[in-house]
Amino acid sequence: MVGILVMGIAVPVTIFLLLELDTFSQLFTIAAVTFTTWGVADLISSILERPRLKDRTPKQALKDEWERRK
């Protein structure tokens, strides 16, 4: 819940104000990008957790997970 509030609202509003942007579409674009980036980073971090590596390199773990999710 905290992540949604921070990455979906607080960070986009802060960036919006610091860059002195003026339209809501710019705000919503920033919100979508930060929220999507957070989601992708969370997905990658869940794939690369230590117990899931099991004697594999991070590259091999990502490849195996990609194949499994297809």
Residue (of 28, 30, 58) closest to 44 by Cα position:
58
pLDDT value for 56: 78
For the four alpha carbons of 25, 17, 8 and 36, in that order, the dihedral sign comes to positive
Spell out the per-residue pLDDT of the chain, length 70, in tens: 777 788 888 999 999 999 999 999 999 999 999 989 988 988 888 877 766 667 778 888 888 888 888 8
pLDDT value for 50: 64
Residue pair 53/61 in contact (Cβ under 8 Å)? The answer is: yes
pLDDT value for 19: 94
DSSP output for 11-47: HHHHHHHHTT---HHHHHHHHHHHHHHHHHHHHHHHH
Its pTM surpasses 0.85: no
